[in-house]
Amino acid sequence: MSNLHSIRFTLDDKLSGVASYNGYIDNQWVLFEYDPKNKLLFYTFDKERLQGGKMHELEVYAEDMTENKTMYHSTFIW
3-class SS string, 10-46: ECCCCCCCEEEEEEEECCEEECCEEECCCCEEEEECC
Centroid of chain to Cα 53: 20
Spell out the domain ranges in the chain. Answer: 6-77
pTM of the model: 0.87
C-alpha distances (whole Å) from 15 to each of 37, 63, 65, 67 are: 15, 12, 9, 12
Do 66 and 13 touch, CB atoms closer than 8 A?
Answer: no
Tens digits of residue pLDDT in 3-58: 789 999 999 998 999 999 999 999 999 999 999 999 999 999 998 888 888 999 99
CATH (residue range 6-77): 2.60.40
C-alpha distances (whole Å) from 19 to each of 5, 34, 38, 57 are: 26, 11, 16, 24
